[in-house]
Amino acid sequence: MPKAILLDFWASYCIPCREQMPDLKALYNKYKSKGFEIVSVSIDEDQWKWKKASAQDSIPWYNIAECVDQSDSKNIRNFVIKSIPANYVLNNKGELMGRNMNLDSLKDMLKDKLNK
C-alpha cells in the first residue's frame, strides 16, 4: 500500500516537465521501497507524441494520457490544471498532502513522511 502518491501532470511539449523527469526518477528510485508511487498524467492531445516522449524519458511508473482535445479533458477539468507541470501529493487515504510542490519541497516531505 503506497504511503504517498504523486499525481504528476505533464506533456511532451512542456520543457520544464521533461527537465524534471530525471529528478523524479531519482526520488522514485530512492523512496519506492518505502511506499512512494508516481502516476504521471499526460495532457498531450497526440498519442504518438506522448508515447515517444514517454519512451525517450524511460518513465518507470504508471503513465497515462487521455489524448483528447484539452478543452475536453476530464483530468484538466477535475484537477483544475491551469498550467504544467502541476502535481498533487496524496496519502494512502486519498487525502491531499500537497499541491504544485517544487522538487525541493517534495524531497523534504518524502524524507519526513517516509523515513519514519
6-30 pLDDT, tens digit per residue, is 999 999 999 999 999 999 999 999 9
Q: Tell me the pTM.
A: 0.91
pLDDT band at 110; cut points 50, 70, 90: very high
Q: What is the CATH number of the domain that holds 106?
A: 3.40.30.10
Q: How far apart are CA 30 and CA 49, in angstroms?
A: 29
The closest alpha carbon to 10, from 94, 98, 88, belongs to 88
Average pLDDT over residues 55-82: 87
The answer, yes or no, to whether residue 55 has pLDDT greater than 80, is yes
Q: How far apart are CA 99 and CA 106, in angstroms?
A: 10
Q: What grid cell was written down for 50?
A: 506522448
How many domains is the chain built from? 1
Please answer whether residues 5 and 28 qualify as being in contact, where contact means their C-beta atoms are separated by less than 8 angstroms: no
Rg (CA), the chain: 14
Q: Name the residue type at position 4.
A: A
Q: How far apart are CA 37 and CA 90, in angstroms?
A: 10
- Residue 78's domain comprises 4-114
